[in-house]
Amino acid sequence: MNPIDPYRAAVVGVGFIGAAHIEALRRLGVPIAGVLGRDAGPSAARAQALGLRAYGSYDELLADPDVHVIHDCGPNDVHADLNVRALRAGKHVLSEKPLGVTAAECAAQLRAAQDANRLHGVNFTYRGYAAVQQLRDLVQSGALGELRYVRGHYLQDWLLFPTDHNWRTEAPAAETRAVADIGSHLADLTRYVTGRALERVLARFSRMHDTRVRPAHGAVTFAAGDGEGTPYPVQTEDQASIWVDCAGGVRATFELSQVAAGHKNDLEIELFGTQGSARWRQERPEELLLGSRRDERVLRLKDPAHPFTHYPPGHPEGVPDAITNVIRAFYATLRGETQPYPTFEDGLAAAQFTDAAYLSHTRGDWVNVPATPQ
C-alpha cells in the first residue's frame, strides 16, 4: 500500500464490523478521515477512543471533500439510502452485507453505482481467505471431476437465549435474519467457489424464541444479554434449512442457525464431484479436507501456491486478515491495479437468494432465483 495513499476513507457504523474495517484500513495504511455512528453521544466517545474524528451527520460526512470512499458498516436497513446518497455525492462505496433488505434495493444501488461510475464493493469476508480461493481453483482445474453436490452450513449460538438481542432480531419477517445475516455468506461462497448461479430454492424457516428482550441500552453483535429490558415479539427466523438447485445440475443443501449451542462462527462448505471432494471450515481456515475413492479423506494445509497475501506459507490467517484482503483488493483496484473483490452484483445475487428463500418458506414451494451476473 502506498504510504501516501490518495484515497481517504470514512466509516459509517462503529460497532463490531465497523471496528474491523477501521483495523483493516489502519493495517493497509489508508487514512481514515472520520467515522459516523448511530447516536451522537456514544459515537463521539467511540470515535475518541479510536482516535478518530466523529462527524455530526451523514450530510457533513458527504460534504467532506477529503472523503473518497465510504465504508458502510451500518445496519442492513440503512445501506440502500446511505450507499445511493454516497454514490450520488461522488464517493466510492464499500458496503457491508447484506447490501440491502430486498433485491430491489440492491438493484437500485447497483444502478446508482453504474450511473455515478464509482467503485462498488460488498464485504463478503470469507472470499478473502486464501484457502477459499484455492477451493475455487480446485473446482476450475477439474481436480474434483464434474461438480455435483454442495453441502454447507453456517451455525452460530450468539442468539441462543431469549435474552440475547440485536437490531437484527427486531427486523420484519420478510427481511429475514439468519438467512440475510449468515445465509448470504453461504450463498455467496457457493456462487464464488462453484462459479454456478443459484437457480431455485426450497426453504423452511423456524424459530426457537417468539419473544426476546430488548435491553435499555441496545446490544452489540455477539454480546450476551442480561435479561433486563422490554420483551418484544420476534418475527424473523432463528434457523433455516434450504435446498438449492444451482446451474449445471449442481445440487446444494444449506443449514443455517443462530441458536446452535456450541457453534460460534461455524461456516463450512463441502464440494462433491465425480472424482473427489473438498471441504473448508471457517474455524480451521488453513485446512482443506480432500477426499478420493483411493484414500481416506486427508487433511491438507492450504497450498503454498495460495499464500496468505504477502506473508510466506505457514503463517496462519484469520477473519481480520480475510477482511483486510477484501478491502486491500478494493483499494488496489481504485489505484488502477484491478484485483478481484465482491461487488454490488454479488450483493444483489445474495439478496435475490434471500428474497427467494423467504418466498419459498411462506409458500411452501420451490421458488426461482432471478439470473444475476456471475
**For 285, what's the count of Cα atoms within 13 Å in the CB-facing half-sphere?**
23
Stretch that binds ligand SOE, among 1-9, 34-42, 177-185, 305-313 (CB under 6 A): 177-185
DSSP string, 258-323: S--TT-SSEEEEEEEESS-EEEEETTSTTEEEEE-SSS--EEEEPPTTS-STTSPTT----HHHHH
Residue 176 CB, shortest distance to ligand SOE, in Å, is 13
Of 235 and 265, CB closest to ligand SOE? 265
Cα(357)–Cα(359) distance, integer angstroms:
5
DSSP 225: P
Which residues does 131 contact at the CB level (< 8 Å), separation at least 6?
A: 280, 285, 286, 287, 288, 302, 306
Residues 3-22 that bind ligand SOE (CB under 6 A): 16
Q: Say whether residue 221 binds ligand SOE (CB under 6 A).
A: yes
Which residues does 30 contact at the CB level (< 8 Å), separation at least 6?
A: 1, 5, 7, 8, 9, 69, 327, 331
Residue 273 CB, shortest distance to ligand SOE, in Å, is 27
Q: Say whether residue 240 binds ligand SOE (CB under 6 A).
A: no
The pattern of x and - marking residues 76 through 115 that bind ligand SOE according to CB under 6 A reads ----------------------------------------
Question: CA nearest 80: which of 95, 64, 62, 63?
Answer: 95
Residue 66 CB, shortest distance to ligand SOE, in Å, is 29
Question: CA nearest 122: which of 322, 327, 308?
Answer: 327
Which residue of 14, 94, 182, 198 would you call a contact of ligand SOE, by CB under 6 A?
A: 182
Of 140 and 221, CB closest to ligand SOE? 221
Stretch that binds ligand SOE, among 101-109, 181-189, 295-303, 344-352 (CB under 6 A): 181-189
Q: Say whether residue 170 binds ligand SOE (CB under 6 A).
A: no
The neighbour count for residue 150, using CB atoms within 10 Å, is: 24
Question: CA nearest 257: which of 269, 243, 241, 239?
Answer: 239
Which residue of 235, 265, 333, 339 would you call a contact of ligand SOE, by CB under 6 A?
A: 265
The pattern of x and - marking residues 134 through 163 that bind ligand SOE according to CB under 6 A reads ----------------------x-------
Task: Name the residues that contact ligand SOE, by CB under 6 A.
Answer: 16, 125, 156, 181-182, 185, 221, 265
